Structure 1
Amino acid sequence: MIEFSLDPQVNKTGDIWHICIEDLPRKNVLYGYRINGPQDWHQGHRFDYGNILIDPYAKLIEGSRVFGDASNKMSKFFGTYDFDCLPFDWGENYKLPNIPENEIVIYEMNVRAFTADESSELAPNISGSYLGVIEKIPHLLELGVNAVELLPVFEFDEMEFQRRPNPRDHLINTWGYSTINFFAPMSRYASNGGGPINASLEFKKMVKALHDAGIEVILDVVYNHTNEADDENPYTTSFRGIDNKVYYMVDLDNNARLLNFSGCGNTLNCNHPVVMELILESLRHWVFEYHVDGFRFDLASVLCRGPDGTQLSAPPLIKAIAKDSILSRCKIIAEPWDCGGLYLVGKFPNWDRWAEWNGIYRDDVRRFIKGDKGMKGSFATRIAGSADLYRVNKRRPCHSINFVIAHDGFTLSDLVSYNFKHNDANGEGGNDGTNDNFSWNCGFEGETADTNIKALRLRQMKNFHVALMISQGTPMMLMGDEYGHTRYGNNNSYGHDNALNHFQWGQLKDKKNNLFRFFSEMIKFRRSHHVLTRANFISKNEVTWHEDNWENYESRFLAFTLHEENGGDLYMGFNAHGDFVKVVIPSPPQRRQWYRVVDTNLESPSDFVAEGVSGVKETYNVAPYSCIILEAKP
């Protein structure tokens, strides 16, 4: 190891420290900084000359080579580089998918968990890697999605919980919401323990393969906090030791303690000019170097706070991202809340660019489908595009990211199988994970052999998927829901590198001709019907609501017709009652007749018939907890 002391008279220009070192190897050099400074804790300083710190702008990070390697759980992380590599060959005929926002169907997934399980039948050297994702692109195409939203792929330390004794020291951080560096791809997602240089190359190969398949790549990015934890148990790797007072929000009225709007011990000071420029440079790097198509910003309300944590009406960072020329082609999606109570669904500062995870959509759809009373009007508003939230200025339905299920919370199978969370395995005494799940176990808590309950649960999963896929806006589903993945009631499974999170390819095979088939057909149905993906909000002449008593608190049935300009109307009915509902079917357009496409009460393959089944009569008995779709055809 070689250390150089920098002289501010020689090695500093303005605020920039610099040094020229000749004859270094052109790659695989590990480097870091020691930084000293004021020791005034109450002023927000946390300098410690004993720490070797990661360069915040390092493009590659070297640490442990094998994911979850307990023997190296105390390993250090360093910046590194590769100036020998040739520019990546994206190919002569390569092009970005550039899918219009109103036409994408998002699949939220975790790179490692997608293929880490032995049921993936991939070679051990590529399972759980970027290359593993490439091997499973045929599954994505068969399912019908055209965008993947990857859980964090910036370098993180999955062993951070095991660095000291604590109630969570049995966990492995598999979700990755604990960023070490904002420029470097997660090195342990490289195949065969290949390290950071291979990780960078293989990430590009993955993006290229997905793009060649017509699938966009959206990254879940975490700029609201870092891995460096809190003042009680700090894990100093970079920012804290470089300039804590600049990089983090501190409470100068309370001994300069770190403010915690992230729920993870610290909050990045995103609207400070230095931090803002770091974030913008990071985003541009991922677009320019890795060709990603968009970003989903975790706890994005943090990005709307000033240095003291107060809400900003026009956050400079949010505006800069919206207006940046390099980012102009990207989808930008906010998770519009944080752990400090700043809930901005429908009110996120947007400059007509930002989309939002629509948490109100999730809650209203869950409540209606499970049969809560008084939800019919709200359900109609949500599936019609949430105009009450997004019909402002030039915003459009696609700015509502509609979802019923996401990585945090119940899986779809668990949503219909558990009334309560079961998080004991997380080591937090059941205090983690939300209690507001709006779930219904269909009559029994957890796994059961009761055929009636199992049939009802299957029906409900299909109902949720239909509601999601016929809604105006941008749908997002979770990896594994296409076969009914269960986490056995754990609604916060961030720390389990096992079957709780890993995609179970064997279970997919078992469900291929049932639940998976239904999911796939429904996604393709959405993508092939313009009336479900309108660029603008539905006008009065584009929909007929078959309802004359919106105020009926007891009513849990909703039917409506979406009108297509050439007569290809779609009739839909959702029955969240526990009894059959006999409905009068409206007359089809001239020279057309109704064909039944969907009835979730029927067994596969009758539950979805793409070409439709003729013979629909003037009335239809819609079964309890089921839905139907009829299509007008010649």
Structure 2
Amino acid sequence: MTAAAQPSGLPGLATAPGRPWPLGASFDGEGVNFALFSAHAEKVELCLFAPDGRREALRLPLTERDGDIWHLKVNGLLPGQLYGYRVHGPYQPEQGHRFNPNKLLIDPYARKLEGRLRWSDAVMGYRVGSARADLSFDGRDSAFAVPKSVVVGHNFNWGPDAPPERALTETLIYEAHVKGLTALHPGVEDGLRGTFLGLASDPILEHLTRLGVTAVELLPVQAFLDDRFLVNRGLSNYWGYQTVGFFAPDPRYLAKGALWEFAAMVRRFHAAGIEVILDVVYNHTGESDELGPTLSFRGIDNRSYYRLTEGGRRYANMTGTGNTLDLSHPMVLRMVMDSLRYWVEVMHVDGFRFDLASTLGREEDAFDEQGAFFDAIRQDPVLTRVKLIAEPWDLGPGGYRLGGFPHPFLEWNDKFRDDVRRFWRGEGGMTGDLARRLLGSAERFDHHSRAATSSVNFVTAHDGFTLLDLVSHARKHNEANGEDNRDGHDDNHSDNMGLEGPTTDAGILAARALRRRNLLATLFLSQGTPMLLGGDEIGNGQGGNNNAYAQDNPIGWIDWDRPDETMLAFVARISELRRSLPVLRQKGFLHGRIREADGLRDVVWRLPDGREPGPQDWHSPAMSCLCVEIRMDADRPDAGESPVFAVFNAGEAVPLALPPVPESWSLVLDTTRPEAGPEPAAPGLEAPARSVLVFVPAPPGETG
């Protein structure tokens, strides 16, 4: 259909040049302004679709161009209009150009998408099966198979909504999947399970509040696709790390198909004092490598959006997914920054966790903590006030950067995960490593005025074993993923406690429960920002699958049928204990310095007999019990908070000598007796085998 044709089903339309900002589709009450970046295009066409999304009703050329921004104003259009783009230009893969106007393209700035990708060879820019592979050209129209972009108007009534703005020293992160957390919850309405509205329902909020959660970190919710190879296996991209729309929530999480559902979820979380953090994937897109589909960025301006190699034909693959976005390009960086600000300013989210964040800091090929992305973040008055968390690695050369990100970034600390697992598994020589993790991994983070809260501590996360599987399986069991158990990590530092998988053996079950309590107690007693994997608190397992990225089914969903109420109560208790003891969640690092207030050191390490360990102790494989006396940071002028004495015993029972204090000590936590309340520290005390103990000064009048 030509631009001059007048379709049925659309009102009388008049066009105007419009303006090059803002990018995307913007409704102003009279019509819609469309603006699209492409530096190498020769022609751009706007395609308007009938309400069912099946018929292309009108095609309009974007005749105005300011620099590399193509734009057009269409008067008479309203929110709800479905649209896409066709972009003309050279098809020269060897030079990095893959324009193909036969392929309908998603607007990178689309605020909403309608429909799901229907896999077909027609979405490929090249002829599948051709001897020339991606150098061939496919002339089929892909519009029938591609999600449509949707014009939106933002009129959600936020009312008195305000971000909780939780201090990092008060933060407990709960990592969760929108569907996984709600799909099997009996208290969530059937029609709302697996959606934003279900996530913000009363039963979920009550559960999180009981745990003391202050922030939910959601696995990707920006629009993503299901990989073709997964669909062919009857699986899906459950985790969502294949983004195709950085401004649009994925339609599968919208119960009623409306954007207000996401906003309503955020508002309900805020009312409960809980922040919303999004796991975002700006390191790559779902278009994969040169044999992937042409859905958006590739067809709009491949050479600008992606890092290319071999003159432009191949894609740099620092992410393991086939492509890498080129954030060194100013317009790609602008898209990422615009996306982040959109989710904060319009959708009111409180922070982001950046997947494979080392990629975002690459200039040319090397990581640069002073790179453009970090500079852009640090100068931005909107983004510097929200929580920013880096996954500090990627698959490229020099990609492991733990501790190398600039303020104000926090970082996922995999050293914490591995060292804590290894200590409690009983490996020798781990007490020195445990000590470093308990104090916020200062050797990694104590530089450039970074805080101890920079370390996001976790024992489990979505990627890997759940806590129950960690103590139930010595090896992974990923057969359901269809890759012959080759996928997923092999080095998990896990332990089946004597029998692989489920068991009814009471002794093994008791040992597994104790190990889980010890792991979680170590997490909550450590300096840094703790993160709990959703479901660990009720004993959720995945049958030993440590890579459930494709399991949108009971394997990947949290099982609420038989929750471990004892573990749930324990997690709520240690969470409350952490909140009540400020010395466990400090901003400053502890280095054993003398405090002016009382002449005492801010941290003192001890052996069970009360002595301070020497170098021979720290390096001894036989040292399996570590004790620590913690006070407020020596740099704090108000060093008046009560100390804490904690014991981490991965070995057999051992007599315990408590350090002297003006008061007597009170035992407030013993992981071998999870339901025991506070009690005076008795004479002849010992640290039980494989236990965590916590002591605080006894209240006045209480004696041991």
Tell me, yes or no, whether TM beats 0.5: yes
Corresponding residue SS for 2:530: strand
Match of residue 690, structure 2, among 625, 631, 634: 625
Higher Rg: 2
For 1:570, the equivalent position in structure 2 comes to 644
Corresponding residue SS for 1:597: strand
How far 1:157 moved relative to its partner?
A: 2.3
Distance 1:270 1:446, change over 3 A: same
CA shift digits 1:331-364 (9 cap, x unpaired): 11110001225344444231x2111111111111
How far 1:219 moved relative to its partner?
A: 0.7
Corresponding residue SS for 1:31: strand
Match of residue 373, structure 2, among 317, 326, 338: 317
Are the aligned partners of 2:524 and 2:575 in contact in 1 as well (CA < 8 Å)?
yes
Corresponding residue SS for 1:584: coil
For 1:593, the equivalent position in structure 2 comes to 664
Q: Which runs of 5+ in 1 are unaligned?
A: 67-73
More divergent stretch after superposition (540-549 vs 26-35): 540-549
Q: What is the number of residues matched between the two proteins?
A: 595
For 2:249, the equivalent position in structure 1 comes to 185
Q: State the one-letter code of the partner of 1:481.
A: D
Are the aligned partners of 1:103 and 1:533 in contact in 2 as well (CA < 8 Å)?
yes
Pair 1:270 & 2:327 matched: yes
Match of residue 62, structure 1, among 114, 134, 138: 114
Tell me the distance in 2 between the aligned counterparts of 1:429 and 1:189: 31
Are the aligned partners of 2:230 and 2:550 in contact in 1 as well (CA < 8 Å)?
no
Tell me the distance in 1 between the aligned counterparts of 2:165 and 2:476: 39
Match of residue 279, structure 2, among 207, 220, 225: 220
For 1:77, the equivalent position in structure 2 comes to 147
Q: State the one-letter code of the partner of 1:115.
A: T
Q: State the one-letter code of the partner of 1:80.
A: V
Match of residue 556, structure 1, among 607, 612, 624: 624
Pair 1:246 & 2:246 matched: no
Are the aligned partners of 2:478 and 2:487 in contact in 1 as well (CA < 8 Å)?
yes
Tell me the distance in 2 between the aligned counterparts of 1:140 and 1:314: 37
For 2:395, the equivalent position in structure 1 comes to 339
Distance 1:383 1:345, change over 3 A: farther
Tell me the distance in 2 between the aligned counterparts of 1:122 and 1:475: 27
Tell me the distance in 1 between the aligned counterparts of 2:267 and 2:369: 39
Are the aligned partners of 1:361 and 1:403 in contact in 2 as well (CA < 8 Å)?
yes
Pair 1:353 & 2:408 matched: yes
Q: How large is the RMSD of aligned CA atoms in angstroms?
A: 1.9
Which structure carries more relative contact order (alpha carbon 8 Å, separation 6+)? 1
Tell me the distance in 2 between the aligned counterparts of 1:181 and 1:161: 20
Match of residue 173, structure 1, among 227, 237, 241: 237
Corresponding residue SS for 2:247: coil
Pair 1:105 & 2:165 matched: no
For 1:581, the equivalent position in structure 2 comes to 654
How far 1:217 moved relative to its partner?
A: 0.8
Pair 1:96 & 2:163 matched: yes
Q: State the one-letter code of the partner of 1:576.
A: A
CA shift digits 1:252-290 (9 cap, x unpaired): 35x621111111111111221111000000000000001
CA shift digits 1:44-70 (9 cap, x unpaired): 11222211000111111111499xxxx
Q: Which runs of 5+ in 2 are unaligned?
A: 1-55, 119-143, 593-600, 607-611, 633-638, 700-704
Q: State the one-letter code of the partner of 2:344.
A: V
For 2:17, the equivalent position in structure 1 comes to none
Q: How does 1:265-414 map to 2 (within 5 A)?
A: 265-307=322-364, 309-312=365-368, 314-350=370-406, 352-414=407-469
Are the aligned partners of 2:367 and 2:399 in contact in 1 as well (CA < 8 Å)?
no
For 1:70, the equivalent position in structure 2 comes to none
More divergent stretch after superposition (520-529 vs 94-103): 94-103
Tell me the distance in 2 between the aligned counterparts of 1:550 and 1:424: 41
For 1:137, the equivalent position in structure 2 comes to 205
CA shift digits 1:140-181 (9 cap, x unpaired): 001111111011110112464455x4xxx2212111111010
Tell me the distance in 2 between the aligned counterparts of 1:78 and 1:125: 24
Are the aligned partners of 2:283 and 2:357 in contact in 1 as well (CA < 8 Å)?
yes
Tell me the distance in 1 between the aligned counterparts of 2:696 and 2:497: 30
CA shift digits 1:84-134 (9 cap, x unpaired): x53x22223x321111112101000011111112x4332221111111111
Are the aligned partners of 2:384 and 2:408 in contact in 1 as well (CA < 8 Å)?
no
How far 1:567 moved relative to its partner?
A: 6.5
Distance 1:567 1:178, change over 3 A: closer
Structure with the higher strand share, 1 or 2: 2
Q: State the one-letter code of the partner of 2:157.
A: D
Give TM-score scaled by structure 2 length.
Answer: 0.82
For 2:193, the equivalent position in structure 1 comes to 127
Tell me the distance in 1 between the aligned counterparts of 2:374 and 2:532: 26
For 1:473, the equivalent position in structure 2 comes to 528
Are the aligned partners of 1:456 and 1:625 in contact in 2 as well (CA < 8 Å)?
no
Are the aligned partners of 1:345 and 1:359 in contact in 2 as well (CA < 8 Å)?
no
How far 1:494 moved relative to its partner?
A: 0.7
Give TM-score scaled by structure 1 length.
Answer: 0.91
How far 1:493 moved relative to its partner?
A: 0.1
Pair 1:43 & 2:95 matched: yes
For 2:537, the equivalent position in structure 1 comes to 482
Corresponding residue SS for 1:482: helix
Tell me the distance in 2 between the aligned counterparts of 1:365 and 1:489: 20
How far 1:5 moved relative to its partner?
A: 4.8
Instruction: State the identity as a percent.
Output: 40
Q: State the one-letter code of the partner of 2:583.
A: V
Match of residue 155, structure 1, among 204, 223, 241: 223
Corresponding residue SS for 2:276: strand
Q: How does 1:600-611 map to 2 (within 5 A)?
A: 600-602=671-673, 604-606=674-676, 609=677
How far 1:404 moved relative to its partner?
A: 0.9
Q: How does 1:462-541 map to 2 (within 5 A)?
A: 462-508=517-563, 511-512=564-565, 514-540=566-592, 541=601
Corresponding residue SS for 1:596: strand
Distance 1:560 1:619, change over 3 A: farther
